[in-house]
Amino acid sequence: MTGRLIFVLMLAFANAMLATSPSFAAEGDPVAGKAVFQRTCENCHAVVIGLNKVGPSLWNVVERKPATVPDFAYSDAMKANKQPWTVTALDTYLADPRGDVHGVKMFFKGLPNATDRANVIAYLQTLK
């Protein structure tokens, strides 16, 4: 009897945990993503319109065509990249920037952690 009650309680607990825990893959957390951005991207990228650093401004980058920020000297490889920066394209690129679009001048080893990538992309989505 007690065993059965405990079992039911455990099930209820597991359900509650599933309902409240953040989903891992697709949905990123923009607040955590901002911290990732400040740690790993901000040296090279600003997030305001028109401010280019070592890299182009990343304001409104999600769904945008690559190599379209004015007054930024992109590599030929990036200019030849015609695939818009969808969430999936960004995820592939950020996992291995130099492996994805050959010859890019973004000297950055990438974000190996999928959660970091999802979070930073969620943050980029807020920049518009």
Contacts to ligand HEC by CB under 6 A? 40-41, 43-45, 54-56, 58, 61, 66-67, 69, 74-75, 77-78, 85, 94, 104-108, 111, 120
Instruction: Decide whether 104 or 122 has the Cβ nearer to ligand HEC.
Output: 104
CB of 46 vs ligand HEC, minimal distance in Å: 11
**b/e string for 10-44 if b means 16 or more Cβ within 10 A?**
eeeeeeeeeeeeeeeeeebbbebbbebbeebbeee
Helices (H) and strands (E) in the chain, counts: 6, 0
In this complex, which beta carbon is closest to ligand HEC, that of residue 87 or of residue 105?
105
